Amino acid sequence: MRPRSRRRVLQSGVGVGLAGVAGCVSLFGDDEAAQTGRTRHETDVSLSGTGTWPTYRHDAANTGGDPDTSGPTHDAEVAWRYSAHTEAESGVAVADSRAYAGGLVVDGEAGRRRGGDWRGHTSTPTVADGTLYVGAHDLEARDPATAEPQWTFETDRDVGGLPAPTVASGTVYVPGGLRDPTLYAVDADGAERWRVETDAEVNVPVAVVDETVYAVDDESTVYAVGTDGEVRWRRTLGADVSRSAPVVVDDRVY
């Protein structure tokens, strides 16, 4: 199946300090800055090139930590602040000395805008295998340096932003989000591999470990779906976990 387009991701290496900005891009003041973007440098800080945070909660298992790097332990300083007319209601992805958030690509060393203008400000972007994936109203693949569009995969609904995409072994997994109780698997070239209908909407990112995709829907049902698209099991829990993305560690799903 060819990728569909209706409206109109990367190698590692970035600062440990930059990887800690998983937060928001904010406004700080005047109209010109809001319209054109402005960088305010606070201090001269040389950022290391060893840390990355390329996706929601760092990796496909949603573990939320990088065992190979750590943040500052004392005397942390702000290197720069970037102001622009943008929203970043999600986390920030960091890869190849760039930060991705709120429809923006920002250079990690200088804090200057390098590209952007996508509509997925509620969804954490994912950078994988030389491509930037954005959960906008549809799934978008963009150039990681400039954010220029490469392809768009059209989901069945056009209501709000999709949850953060999860990439594993060259396949992009993304839930349909609002009014679309579907889990999609999409090849790196934008072609649909398969889809699985869920009992309710899935509005949190999935986890992918050992050829299994784990998803949680709005009725607190947990799904285990093989990377071949076969549902292996499902279980409805007695507690409300509908807003909790699954985390997989040591053969356990949390």
Phi, psi of 139 (to 5 degrees): -80, 125
Question: What was the pLDDT predicted at 110?
Answer: 81
Three-class secondary structure of residue 222 per DSSP: strand
Angle at 120 (CA atoms; ends 176, 103), nearest 5 degrees? 160
Mean pLDDT of 45-71: 84
Helix (H) or strand (E) segment spanning residue 174: strand 171-175
Helices (H) and strands (E) in the chain, counts: 2, 20
Q: For residues 223 and 244, what is the distance between their CA atoms, to the nearest angstrom?
A: 13
pLDDT in tens, 17-35: 444 444 344 444 445 555 5
What pTM does this model have?
0.84
Least confident of 4-18, 116-130, 145-159, 211-225: 4-18
Mean pLDDT for the chain overall: 83
Question: What was the pLDDT predicted at 86?
Answer: 64
Residues 6 or more apart in contact with residue 91 via CB below 8 angstroms: 22, 23, 53, 56, 57, 101, 124, 164
Confidence of residue 111 (pLDDT cuts 50, 70, 90): confident
Question: What was the pLDDT predicted at 47?
Answer: 64
- Indicate if the pLDDT at residue 66 is higher than 60: yes
Question: What was the pLDDT predicted at 36?
Answer: 58
- Indicate if the pLDDT at residue 171 is higher than 50: yes
CA-based nearest residue to 215, from 180, 161, 252, 175: 175
Confidence of residue 8 (pLDDT cuts 50, 70, 90): very low
Confidence of residue 232 (pLDDT cuts 50, 70, 90): very high
Question: How far, CA to CA in Å, does 75 sit from each of 40, 53, 71, 72?
Answer: 20, 22, 11, 8
Strands 207-209 and 182-187 come out as: unpaired
Token representation of residue 48: 């290391």
Q: For residues 124 and 32, what is the distance between their CA atoms, to the nearest angstrom?
A: 27
Question: What was the pLDDT predicted at 22?
Answer: 42
